[in-house]
Structure 1
Amino acid sequence: MKEEQSGASAIVGGLLDPGLFPQAFRADRTTAAQATAWLGGDDALQQLGLRPGAPVHPHDLTNVLVGRHTGSGVRVLPDPALYDLAYLAPRSVSFAWTQLDARAQLDIEKAVRDSVHRMLVHLTRSVPLIDGVRPARSFVAALVSHAVGTRAAAAGPIPPLLHVHCCLIALQDEDGTLVQPDEPTLADDAVQRECDAVVEVHLADRLVALGYRVRNTAGAGTGHSFELDGVPQSLLDNEDFWRNTGCAIADG
């Protein structure tokens, strides 16, 4: 069990490092924000001692990643796994985020998280992820918001890039059993394109409701179906400006 815990702890340390949360890149770091949440049905989460919407604590995620109940330590998942369905927001959304006050930043972060949640609900209800033949009744997932920045000033300053790690851990079958998703189905290119499309439809709608204008970029080869108006296209296309965008610790 110690070896299991050690491997899980390494994964958890990367995901839940506070230096990666959007608040670490915010000018006003005193503004309260919840960068993580457990998602899924009440009964599915209860099997692991979790609650929908509760923050993801390192101890709990470590136990879940080795298949154990967060309170009792009893094994619940015989063969646990983590499938990271990461979503990276359009560059214009991230750049606009850097220019806003804390309240407006939080609104954008919530819009991104909620859109990823909608995608996860759609994925598990509409795609045959259980044995590749039927959809799930519910799921267990951890949502973790990050803002990506350069590790050191020498790498060249860039604005943070907002993204969400949607960590799908288990599905709930019709009889209530928690099982792993069917990996070939989950990895299918068409399924992944569908997931991205669902996120961006909802995210574009949410941003419009917040007062932003969006423009359609589907088919433009950007990997996204929209961008925000007002951010220069020359900036969005400047690959040198957007280099070094792996998960890293915020400077300062």
Structure 2
Amino acid sequence: MNNKSKALVVFSGGQDSTTCLFWAKKEFGEVEAISFDYGQKHRLELELAAKIAREAGVPFQVMQLEMLGKITNNALTNPDMEVETDKPDNRPPNTLVEGRNMLFLTYAAIYAKSKDIHHLVTGVGQADYSGYPDCRDEFIRSLNQTLNLSMDYEYEIHTPLMWRDKEAVWQLSDELGVFDLVRTQTLTCYNGIVGEGCGHCPACKLRKNGLDSYLLKKNHKSDQSQ
């Protein structure tokens, strides 16, 4: 098999990365997944990621990056900091983990080269922008070039969700046949509650608004076809 048909998915067990995992399984001949232990409060996400990858038949491993949680201060790694319920206008939300996606993709690239994998897949997106600078298309394209130059290796970073809002992400999961899995078995909630989540953190609100919009649209189409 051509080595360029292999892909490595940066995988957290959340809605976006799970959708990307199954997108990659459709698009590539071989898929592996990698998660990162960066000192996050909700260790459950690593367990869910392992379970989903196992059921999907995808080789999976966790890489240690605990130092990131020690040198940053945010609501995802600091047990004494509560998640803001509303996104502030003058700064990124307190769930921003500085440098996270840059480090994840860099370590993923190093690992991918050792496995002769050229394609990296990540679930970042700019359509429902939450104030995270490392989710922007401009950043991904810049990092892609930097990785190619730094390791003299031809990588291609795929961002299938970059321009999809949450409604469109739900639609994609449905098209891929994993709508129910994503809805019930993934962890998107900043407060660590699987599936529908806590309902009031920014991640849950975004997820639910997208789900409601998608179901309304889907039901409307169903009614019209009858």
Q: Confirm or deny a common fold (TM above 0.5).
A: no
- Normalised by the length of structure 1, the TM-score is 0.28
Q: Which has the higher strand share?
A: 1
Whichever of the two has the greater Rg, that structure is 1
Q: Which has the higher helix share?
A: 2
- Normalised by the length of structure 2, the TM-score is 0.31
